[in-house]
Amino acid sequence: MSFPDCGLYAITQTDNKSAESIINEVVAAIKGGAVVVQYRDKAPLDAIYLAGQLLKVCREYRVPLLINDDVDLTVKVGADGVHLGREDGAIAEARKRLGAEAIIGVSCYNFIEHALDAQEQGATYVAFGRFFPSLSKPLAAPAELDTLRKAKFLLDIPVVAIGGILPQNGGQLLAAGAGLLAVIGGLFDNQPEQSARAYRALFDS
């Protein structure tokens, strides 16, 4: 499964939600226009079951499923790839375990040098953020629009923006150079299908 150049990147919201609710919300988000799904779960009850069910959904709709921070789980369920944060191991090691076709994304926060290094090491895409205050990542250091402008000029791989992104502020990130908008709360706090359509309109315009 290939990674898209642009579109809405949905990241699961799992706190205090049943597996069934999470799965239903992901289906709604995809129906509304999400083009990538990442399974992120900081306190999983049964990660293998939930990731496996999400993979079935994503296969049905032909949307790639990535696993946050966990190469082992990615291997176990056969997901399309992994997203690596600062402490999550080397790109080369993930590539070795997941294979040449796997999607490997890397968090680069506000560091263009990290992104250039990740591209050199074979990352599929890089992510910058947070760009706005975020309940999901309240302590994350802020990122700047100028980083996206530089990334658009210097990188040959897709660029993802994350952090407090809403339909009302996402347009400026796309204008600066982001190709994809990664969203948790703005998508899953309320009516994910309608919310996804509001984000998708940013790309249609």
pTM summary value: 0.96
Q: Evaluate whether residue 1 is within a structural domain.
A: no
pLDDT of residue 74: 98
The reply to whether omega before 86 is within 30° of 0 (cis) is no
For tokens 């309240």, the residue is 138
pLDDT of residue 86: 77
Measured distance CA(54)–CA(74) in Å, rounded: 12
For tokens 């296969």, the residue is 59
3-state secondary structure of 121: coil
Q: Evaluate whether residue 2 is within a structural domain.
A: no
Q: What is the CATH number of the domain that holds 40?
A: 3.20.20.70
How many domains does one find in the chain?
1
Q: Evaluate whether residue 41 is within a structural domain.
A: yes
Measured distance CA(134)–CA(165) in Å, rounded: 8
Residue type, 40: R
DSSP state of 67: E
Measured distance CA(22)–CA(26) in Å, rounded: 6
List the domain range (segments joined by +) for residue 149: 7-204
The per-residue pLDDT of the chain, averaged, comes to: 95
Note the pLDDT tens digit of each residue in 78-114.
999 999 997 767 999 999 999 999 999 999 999 999 9
Measured distance CA(39)–CA(66) in Å, rounded: 6
Query: Is residue 25 packed enough to be buried (19+ CB in 10 Å), middle (13-18) or exposed (0-12)?
Result: buried
CB 98 within 8 A of CB 90: no
CB 193 within 8 A of CB 18: no
Note the pLDDT tens digit of each residue in 136-195.
777 778 999 999 999 999 999 999 999 999 999 999 999 999 999 999 999 999 999 999
pLDDT of residue 93: 95
Note the pLDDT tens digit of each residue in 30-67.
999 999 999 999 999 899 999 999 999 999 999 999 99
H helix or E strand, kind and range, residue 60: helix 47-61
Residue 129 forms beta bridges with which residues? 162
pLDDT of residue 88: 60
